Amino acid sequence: MTETQAGIWGVGYAVPDRILTNQDLEQMVETSDEWIRSRTGIEERRIADSDTAASDLALAAAKKALVAAGVDASELDMIVVATISPDMAFPATACLVQDGLGAKQAAAFDLSAGCSGFVYGLDVGASLVKGGRSRVLVIGVDVLSRITDYTDRSTCVLFGDGAAAAVMGPVAAGHGVIASELGSDGSGGYHLYLPAGGSRLPASHETVTAKQHYLRMAGNDVFKFAVRIMSDSTKRVLEKAGMHHEDIRWFIPHQANVRIIKASAAKLGIDDEHLYINVNRYGNTSAASIGLALAELDEAGRLHDGDYLLMVGFGAGLTWGSMVLRWGRGEV
């Protein structure tokens, strides 16, 4: 019996309308447009209104992905939401999306892998499809503006809000997920974390006063890890796939910092024409980032059946993940 091959049937994304520019940030903290552009490549990011939560953006992205895939919500077997800024600790944001879509047949759960969330989600989704679930919805969503301290210039210039979704299902042999490589190193967990609000340090007046409900990041440590792991993981996944970087049409890296993207690409010898970058317009949208880039490429008609794509990301955990995927369903 031949093994089922899993792939992406359709993608979609959603971002808030409100734009926060570098000039806006200049009014909020001691920073400059020049510093932010030269150190990160970011020009603007999207920020959710106070009445918009992760599940709202996730739902909007999911609806677009379902239309693109030609799948009705009632056909979904499983919904996986990758996020580190869920609506609430529980119920899972995936269950809120399940209800919003009216996906009555779907089981649903959340996955926490920081900015690697979308690639982790696709890997889990592919395993589920191979295991017999025929329609799996994978969403990466984060509203990091809710856990960002807008008086801390070292973090507040970096992040933006957004969501991206992919409907996964069986595809023809030779299409879909060709290879993936996931990993973690929890020893670096405190390089990027949210101190309070969990069972280690429950929310209290003291934690709020100490601003422990905002994310903390050791930027330099994450930067060094990122440049190393982006190229190492890319090399490993290409080897697993039995491919060379010249075979890849689009490298879709996690959009955290243009310097990280360019440094990793230079190490790998990847040309700009094969590299997709949108961090200038969205900042770091965490679990949504790679899916958002993928969905934008699709929307612009720049993905063609048979194109090989390589997605690679890193994030809180610390985690990383890369995947080679052949776009399209092929002849099923």
Task: Name every residue whose Cβ is closer than 8 Å to that of residue 320 and which is 6 or more positions away in sequence.
Answer: 116, 182, 183, 184, 229, 230, 233, 312, 313, 314
Among positions 183, 195, 219, 330, the unique one binding ligand UT7 when judged by CB under 6 A: 219
Using only C-alpha atoms, the chain has a radius of gyration, in whole angstroms, of 19
Interface characters, 256-295, with ligand UT7 (x: CB under 6 A)? xx--------------------------x-----------
Shortest approach of ligand UT7 to residue 129 CB, angstroms? 27
Among positions 220, 300, 304, 331, the unique one binding ligand UT7 when judged by CB under 6 A: 220
Q: Which is nearer to ligand UT7, 58 or 227 (CB)?
A: 227
Shortest approach of ligand UT7 to residue 195 CB, angstroms? 16
Which residues, 24 to 63, sit near ligand UT7 by CB under 6 A?
31, 35-36, 39-40
Shortest approach of ligand UT7 to residue 256 CB, angstroms? 3
The catalytic site residues sit at 115, 254, 284
- CB-side neighbour CA atoms (13 Å) of 314: 26
- Token look-up 């990847």 returns 270
Shortest approach of ligand UT7 to residue 182 CB, angstroms? 16
Residue from 122, 256, 268, 136 nearest 181 by CA: 122
Cα separation of 85 and 32, whole Å?
Answer: 28
- Report residue 163 as tokens: 């969501």
What order of strands is seen across the sheet that includes strand 308-315?
A: 176-184, 319-326, 308-315, 250-253
**Site for ligand UT7, rule CB under 6 A:** 31, 35-36, 39-40, 115, 153-154, 157, 192, 217, 219-220, 222-223, 226, 256-257, 284, 315
